[in-house]
Amino acid sequence: MASLKELKGRISSVKSTQKITKAKQMVAAAKLKRAQEAAEASRPYAARLAAVIANLTAAAASGGEGGPKLLSGSGREDTHLLLVMTAERGLCGGFNANTVKRAKQEIGELRAAGKTVKIITIGKKGREQLGREYGDMFVDHVDLSDVKGNDFTEAALGLGRELARRFEDGEFDVATLVFSEFRNVLSQVPVTRQLIPAKPPEDAETIDLKGAIYEYEPSEEEILETLLPRYLNTQILSGMLESAAGEQAASMTAMDNATRNAGELIDDLSLQYNRARQAQITKELIEIISGAEAL
């Protein structure tokens, strides 16, 4: 059994750790509110833009036009580019590990189908975890450590331009974003979202024209040429905001659990300390009584 001094030291150490986890929990809770508001505010815009793209795509298809390359694709699906989005920091439970696990699943399925896979990591933790096994597939990395608050606009625009350039240069045929979608404080679900060729969600709202025929000026293809880069940037920005909200929620939950566990450990150690102290006092009393009787 540990001595009283050792138990007292452990209790003091765990109490210090508990103060740290409690402070980090409060910081994450404060950041979560702003991150959640930013993620939720971006959803209506992203959904409306997806609906516009879906309707223009349908109109262009009915007119027999193939559409811009960002929409029609390269005509092949041989090379896939995965953008794996994780956090810059740890201490957020299984948030990063779950996203990396989803990315590994996607990589495994693509390689099994004979596809060439390239990876761009967004966030330090994803690069660290994937680099051990798939480092030879890395083609770029996006550092978000300098982003202040939830202002990911410049990072999203820069990544969008880089993706469009790489696609035009023929470096890949399909680009897919892997990130954790924020559902609520307790649920962040790893999902995939195809960015190039642009593929609006199947549940995107469509407009019922009720048989009416619309003529677009300029043409649907010219409108799509302008909107598709914006759609690409919007999808990337939306993913960053969702991931940031999920990170703070996971961090808050993990730190809350750590604080509770520290409290339980302190209770257990305090009980052990009190028992050891009581046993020591009893032993000393017995020795005193035995000595008095011997006299």
Predicted local distance difference test score (pLDDT) of residue 199: 76
CATH code for the domain in which residue 126 is found: 3.40.1380.10
Q: Is residue 193 part of a domain?
A: yes
Rounded to whole angstroms, the Cα distance separating 265 from 257 reads 12
Contact 150, 248 (CB under 8 A): no
What is the total count of domains within the chain? Answer: 1
Q: In what order do the strands lie in the sheet with 138-142?
A: 138-142, 116-122, 79-85, 174-184, 187-196
Sign of CA dihedral 132, 144, 158, 97: positive
Q: Is residue 199 part of a domain?
A: yes
Q: Is residue 16 part of a domain?
A: no
- 256 HSE (CA, 13 A, CB side): 11
Predicted local distance difference test score (pLDDT) of residue 218: 64
Contacts 24+ apart (CB under 8 A), 257-265: 257/93, 258/17, 258/21, 259/18, 259/21, 259/22, 259/25, 262/14, 262/15, 262/17, 262/18, 262/21, 263/18, 265/14
Residue with tokens 């995939």: 192
Q: Is residue 197 part of a domain?
A: yes
Rounded to whole angstroms, the Cα distance separating 86 from 89 reads 9
Rounded to whole angstroms, the Cα distance separating 276 from 1 reads 8
Q: Per residue of the chain (295 residues), what is the pLDDT tens digit?
A: 677 788 888 888 989 988 998 998 888 888 888 888 888 888 888 888 877 777 766 655 555 555 677 777 778 888 899 999 988 888 888 888 899 999 999 999 999 989 888 998 988 888 888 888 888 889 888 888 887 777 888 888 888 888 888 888 888 888 899 998 888 888 888 888 888 887 766 665 555 555 555 565 666 667 777 778 888 888 889 888 988 888 888 888 889 889 999 899 988 888 888 888 888 888 877 877 777 776 6
Q: Is residue 46 part of a domain?
A: yes
Domain hosting residue 81, numbered range: 42-250
Q: Is residue 93 part of a domain?
A: yes
Q: Is residue 30 part of a domain?
A: no
Please name the amino acid found at residue 106.
E
92 in catalytic set = yes
Rounded to whole angstroms, the Cα distance separating 252 from 249 reads 5
- Catalytic hit among 92, 110, 156, 236: 92
For residue 135, give the DSSP letter: G
Q: Is residue 36 part of a domain?
A: no
